[in-house]
Chains A and B, each alone.
Chain A
Amino acid sequence: ETGVTQTPRHLVMGMTNKKSLKCEQHLGHNAMYWYKQSAKKPLELMFVYNFKEQTENNSVPSRFSPECPNSSHLFLHLHTLQPEDSALYLCASSATARTIQETQYFGPGTRLLVL
């Protein structure tokens, strides 16, 4: 069983809604990540937090707003999304963000549908 949990598992929202995705890791890691996975496309890294500080923002539109209150929790706040934002959003964690020795551990994802 993964030590990374995500809620909700499924989310349907209209383009004018505001919602939040939550991720929690129980592995004692210090780095957390948000990825977007669209059908038949490679994973796209969105944000990286290392020791609660954002270290990467890969040109993500401002309608996605991350928040990392501590090393165990990560949120993705969503507002005025577009239909093309429909995807599987995956959270991951690792010991630190700048490691070449260790892998990342993933949550089950939130399947998002924007109508």
Chain B
Amino acid sequence: KQEVTQIPAALSVPEGENLVLNCSFTDSAIYNLQWFRQDPGKGLTSLLLIQSSQREQTSGRLNASLDKSSGRSTLYIAASQPGDSATYLCAVLTMDSNYQLIWGAGTKLIIKP
């Protein structure tokens, strides 16, 4: 059974720093891996979707990588800003999950001005 882990649960860094959020999964037989952002009082917003055949995806200051063999993904945020403060969730679409996303518990990120 697929399990998705995100460590740390919370992270606080000064504005302007580059940072990396981690996501690990136990079953490498996946279709894709997705990163979402959740702001307080709001729903989830998809940031990046990496297909199993891809190694990375980029959007602006965000770069997500995928290493299926090791069961790991990272979300790199360059030149962090206070507006990046949110909870970041990782989810994988596993081949034996009947097309259901399996979610991590998230990393709560605080960017200090």
Q: Which residues of A contact B (CB under 8 A)?
A: 2, 4, 6, 40-43, 45, 48, 56, 58, 90, 92, 97-109
Contacts and interface: CB of A to CB of B under 8 A. Distances in A.
B99 A97 contact: yes
Main secondary structure of the interface of B (DSSP, over half): strand
B60 interface: no
B70 interface: no
Contacts of B99: 97-100
Interface pairs A-B: 5 shortest CB-CB: A106-B43, A42-B103, A100-B31, A103-B46, A106-B44
A105 B41 CA distance: 16
Contacts of A6: 43
Contact of A90 (B44, B91, B100, B106): B44
Interface residues of B, number: 26
Given A103-B49, A108-B43, A56 B103 contact: no
Contact of A104 (B4, B46, B105, B106): B46
A90 B36 CA distance: 14
A29 to B, nearest CB: 14
A104 B34 CA distance: 10
A92 B89 CA distance: 15
Contact of A109 (B43, B46, B51): B43
Given A98-B99, A100-B31, A104-B46, A42 B105 contact: yes
15 contacts: A6-B43, A40-B105, A43-B91, A43-B103, A45-B101, A48-B100, A56-B98, A90-B43, A90-B44, A92-B44, A100-B93, A103-B34, A104-B101, A106-B36, A109-B43
A41 B6 CA distance: 11
B58 interface: no
B61 interface: no
A35 to B, nearest CB: 9
Contacts of A40: 9, 105
A11 to B, nearest CB: 14
